[in-house]
Amino acid sequence: MKHTINYLEENPFLFQIVYKDYRQVPVKKFPFVILYKTDLDTVKVYRVFPMNMNPSGKFKIIRK
C-alpha cells in the first residue's frame, strides 16, 4: 500500500473522478481502493474501502 500512496502523491489527478470530486485508486496486491479528494497542493484520503464489501456503502460516510 505504501507504493500506492507514493504514486498517488506524485500523480493525484491521474485517476478519474468516480463520485462528485472524489477519485479512487486501486491498491495492488490487496482488494482495496483508496477514495480521495485533491486540491492543487493536497491529497486528502477519505476512505480505504475493501472491494469484497457491498460497493453501495463506498460513499456512505461521504454522503452525510
Backbone dihedral region of 29: left (phi > 0), alpha (psi from -120 to 50 degrees) or beta? left
**Chunked mean pLDDT (size 10), the chain, 64 residues:** 81 89 87 88 87 71 55
Eight-class DSSP state of 16: P
pLDDT given for residue 37 in this prediction: 92
pLDDT given for residue 36 in this prediction: 92
pLDDT given for residue 23 in this prediction: 92
pLDDT given for residue 52 in this prediction: 79
pLDDT given for residue 17 in this prediction: 92
Domain layout of the chain by residue ranges: 2-63
